[in-house]
Structure 1
């Protein structure tokens, strides 16, 4: 396997090193794990469509764009620490 160099700020490098050490792995393995566990936008969209189809098939729930938009707003509010109305 060929290696490559990734340039990051020293603070980022140091944090990655600490995270890797805490997990008993190399920084190379940590970055590989992170890349493998982080879905792309395309993968997230495919996962959403599969989940939507599953809900429709097994629960008879038809999710609309408005439902999706409302759920996104709830997540944004949660992340921002704002009060959230029930779905």
Structure 2
């Protein structure tokens, strides 16, 4: 496997090293695992469509675009530490 150099801020590099060590890994292996576990936008869209189809097939639940938008809003509020209305 060919190596590639990636330029990052020294603070980010140091944090990556700490995280890798805490997981008993090299930075290379830790980054590979992190990147491999992080889905792309297209992978998330596909997972959403598959989950939506599963819910419709197995639970008789039809999710609308408005339902999706509401859930996205709730997630943003939760991540921001804001109060959230019930779904």
- What is the TM-score of this pair, normalised by structure 2? 0.98
Q: Give SS of 1:85's match.
A: coil
Counterpart Cα distance in 2 of 1:72 and 1:25? 34
Runs of 4+ with deviation above 2 angstroms = none
Counterpart Cα distance in 2 of 1:73 and 1:42? 20
What is the deviation of 1:81?
Answer: 0.9
- What is the TM-score of this pair, normalised by structure 1? 0.98
Q: Give SS of 1:61's match.
A: coil
Task: Tell me which residue corresponds to 1:62.
Answer: 62
Query: Number of residues paired by the alignment?
Result: 87
Q: Could you say what the CA RMSD is over the residues aligned between the two structures, in angstroms?
A: 0.5
Unaligned runs of 5+ in 1: none
